[in-house]
Every structure is written in structure tokens, then in C-alpha cells.
Structure 1
Amino acid sequence: MFERVIGLDIGGKRIGVAVSDPMGWTAQGVEMIQRTDDSRWLERLQQLIEEYEARTIVVGFPRNMDGTIGERGRACQSLAAELEERFSLPVQLWDERLSTAAVERTLIDADMSRRKRKKVVDQMAASWILQGYLDAQRRNNDG
């Protein structure tokens, strides 16, 4: 039995959230959480983890194009460690290079207005990240 995975696209102001289906085949964007200076956003994330019975968290890991880890990458590493400790769940970092750009391009190609794109790009980026992770897990388990 597969256990659900929750995927996060961490931004400075917003966090995109996606979850896997119960079989672990597809990722669906579920929400965009406003990132606050207090712990309210973590409380909302906990509610989503409980609601979807997620057993793993995948955090988008921004690397520089040459593969090195910059300031944003280090911040995500730190946050991943914090999430792992807070929720007592395994946290996987997943390379997110170009995920937001790819999602933006897709939405522009679909002729979506800038205002509408802003509302969905974070959770779509989280879906993109999580789908990449799920696909890799399936390949690793099949081979």
C-alpha cells in the first residue's frame, strides 16, 4: 500500500502545496499557504498533512543552474530539517530547477492572465516537484 506524499514549493511569501493520490501515481495541487512570520502557516501545513494522511514531505530544492547550492537552497535545507523535526516525518529535498519557469510557460501558453497565474503558480510548481519525485520513485521501484 502506498502512502500519500505531500509536496511543497517554498517561496518567501507563499508555499505551494500538492499531494499525491493514494496510489502514488499523480500529484495534485491543493493549496497555496501564505507564509507568515509566526507559526500559523506551519499549523495549516499540519492540518493538510493530517487531512491527507501524508507520510513523507517533499520540499522543492532550488539549486543554481550549475548544480551548486545558493542562499535559497540553504534556506530550504534548513526548513526541511525544521519540518522533519516538527512533524516527525521524513523530508526529501527534490531538485526544483526550472519548475516555476516551466509552470509559468505552460500557463502563458494557455493564455492565462497574470493575475490568475499568480494565484495558481505556487501549487502548480508544488505539483511539478512532487510529480518528478513520484515518477523517480516508481522508476526506482520498477528497476
Structure 2
Amino acid sequence: MRIMGLDYGDRNIGVAVSDAFGWTAQGTGVVQRRHNRGEFDEIAQLVKDHEVTEIVVGLPKNMNGSVGPRGEICIAFAEELQQKLNLPVHLWDERLTTVSAERTLLEADVSRKKRKLVVDKLAATFILQNYLDSKAKR
């Protein structure tokens, strides 16, 4: 039982996958968004390769908890993903995950060029790990 975490962005989709026990999240890469919607095929292949049984998509909420235009786009993406892959897709509050990822990379003294390459993957890892931690507490 592996769970995939996705950080859906304007240009890229950060990807993370849990270990087989569902305890830890590992960043696996970034899927580039395409105008022809080819990202769904690439995500489907990753689901197959990693034997994923469910997906968590980060939902960007406003600081007051409301869902804005960016959140609506993520909801539509999650619904389309669920229809295409026929897997459970959960939305998870991702407020400040990209900020946390950036801060972590800054503290690790990662160059700006390298940060751009890994920030989406790290944000997906944070989203998935927070989701896994919440499941463990239940």
C-alpha cells in the first residue's frame, strides 16, 4: 500500500511516494505540466511503477481557510485524476508547504538554481508526510 503525494503547480507537479508501510514520504521527482494534458499519462505510469493505491493532492487554501481560484483548479485536477486513474484521491491542506520547502532548502544552503529544481518535489514530500502523520494519529 503506497500513497502518492502531488504538489500541483502552474508549471510542474511535485511527486512524492510513501514507503510500503505508509510511514514515510520520499520525493520521487517532478512532472512537467503540458498543454495536451500528457501529465496524466506520466502520473499513471508512476502510479503503476510504484504500486500506488491512493493519491493525496495538495489543496492551496487562503490563510483564512477559504478556497480561492488556485484551490478550485487543484480540486478540478484531483477530480479528473480520480476519474482517469480510478483511485481514491484526497485533498490535503497545503498552506505554507512551498514556503517550508524553500526555507528548508535555504537553511541547507542550496543554491537558487538547485532550489528551483527540487522545491516542488520537496513540497510534495511535505504534503504527503503531513497526510501520513495525520493518518497515524487516528
| Bin for the TM-score computed over the shorter chain | over 0.9
Question: Alpha-carbon deviation of 1:40?
Answer: 1.9
1:85 — aligned with what?
A: 83
1:17 — aligned with what?
A: 15
2:66 — aligned with what?
A: 68
Q: Quick one: distance in 1 between partners of 2:134 and 2:109?
A: 30
Question: Alpha-carbon deviation of 1:93?
Answer: 0.1
**Could you list the runs of 5+ residues in structure 1 that have no partner in the other structure?**
none
Q: Quick one: distance in 1 between partners of 2:60 and 2:37?
A: 23
2:50 maps to a residue whose letter is: Y
2:133 maps to a residue whose letter is: D
Question: Alpha-carbon deviation of 1:42?
Answer: 1.1
Measured on the aligned residues, the alpha-carbon RMSD in Å equals 0.6
Query: Among 23, 30, 54, which residue is 2:28 paired with?
Result: 30
Q: For 1:113-124, list aligned pairs within 5 A.
A: 113-124=111-122
Secondary structure of 2:58's counterpart equals strand
1:96 equivalent to 2:94? Answer yes
Query: Among 28, 37, 40, which residue is 1:39 paired with?
Result: 37
Q: Quick one: distance in 1 between partners of 2:82 and 2:72?
A: 15
Q: TM-score, normalised by structure 1?
A: 0.95
Q: Quick one: distance in 1 between partners of 2:9 and 2:30?
A: 10
Question: Alpha-carbon deviation of 1:39?
Answer: 2.6
- Please list every run of at least 4 consecutive aligned residues from structure 1 whose deviation after the TM superposition is greater than 6 angstroms: none
Question: Alpha-carbon deviation of 1:41?
Answer: 1.3
Question: Alpha-carbon deviation of 1:32?
Answer: 0.5
Q: Quick one: distance in 2 between partners of 1:135 and 1:90?
A: 18
2:95 maps to a residue whose letter is: R
2:109 — aligned with what?
A: 111
Secondary structure of 2:120's counterpart equals helix
Question: Alpha-carbon deviation of 1:66?
Answer: 0.5
Q: TM-score, normalised by structure 2?
A: 0.99
